[in-house]
Amino acid sequence: MNTNEIEIDEQVFSMPRIGDKAPEFKAVTTQGEINFPSDYKGKWTILFSHPADFTPVCTSEFMMFAHLESKFKKANCNLIGLSIDGIYSHIAWLRTIKDKIKFKGMKNIEVKFPLIEDISMQVAKKYGMIQPGESKTQAVRAVFFIDPNGIVRAIIYYPLSLGRNFDEIFRALIAMQTSDKFNVATPADWNPGDDVIISPAGSCGVAEERMAGTDDLECEDWFFCTKKLDKDLVLKEVLKS
DSSP, res 76 = T
How open is the CA angle 131-132-135, to the nearest 5 degrees?
85
Residue closest to 68 by CA, chosen among 101, 104, 119: 104
Residues forming the active site: 58
Q: Is 17 annotated as a binding residue?
A: no
Q: DSSP H helical segments within 75-165, as ranges?
A: 87-100, 122-126
* Alpha-carbon span 142 to 210, nearest angstrom: 41
Burial of 166 (0-12, 13-18, 19+ CB in 10 A): middle
- The single-letter code of the amino acid at 136 is K
Identify whether the C-beta of residue 72 lies closer than 8 Å to the C-beta of residue 78. Answer: yes
* Alpha-carbon span 129 to 157, nearest angstrom: 9
Which helix or strand (DSSP H or E) is residue 110 part of?
A: none
Identify whether the C-beta of residue 80 lies closer than 8 Å to the C-beta of residue 48. Answer: yes
Side-chain-side CA neighbours of residue 205 (13 Å): 0
Interhelix angle 56-74/166-182, rounded to 10 degrees, is 30
Identify whether the C-beta of residue 65 lies closer than 8 Å to the C-beta of residue 53. Answer: no
| Binding site, annotated residues | 141
| Binding site, annotated residues for substrate | 141
